[in-house]
Amino acid sequence: FDKGQNSARYSGVIKGYDYDTYNFQARKGQKVHVSISNEGADTYLFGPGISDSVDLSRYSSELDDNGQYTLPASGKYELRVLQTRNEARKNKAKKYSVNIQIK
């Protein structure tokens, strides 16, 4: 994110099983909301207090009723954008735009 901003929009292209990574700092208790333009893409969050990863895709059970995930600890988080397994098998390049917001 740019200094002093609580949201950012990124665009990219992913192919096959590749993924793009976006890092941000956040505090325990803050909420993250991620929206992505490509329905064939998934978003996963890694970071402090998360044992493996958290699925932040639209219908994930990890999200509250507002589509947000409450961060369990303060620190540096990593968001990965990747294709769904079905799409990745096709090995085609897909464009996406992702918006990350911290509240």
18 lies in some domain: yes
pLDDT digit string, tens, across residues 87-100:
999 999 999 999 99
31 lies in some domain: yes
1 lies in some domain: no
What is the phi/psi pair of residue 87, to 5°? -70, -40
pLDDT digit string, tens, across residues 1-21:
777 889 999 999 999 999 999
CATH number at residue 15: 2.60.120.380
Nearest to 31 by CA among 7, 1, 3: 7
72 lies in some domain: yes
pTM for the model: 0.91
34 lies in some domain: yes
13 lies in some domain: yes
| Range of the structural domain that residue 80 is part of | 7-102
2 lies in some domain: no
Average pLDDT value for residue range 41-65: 94
What is the phi/psi pair of residue 89, to 5°? -60, -30
CA distance 72 to 86: 31
How many structural domains is the chain composed of?
A: 1
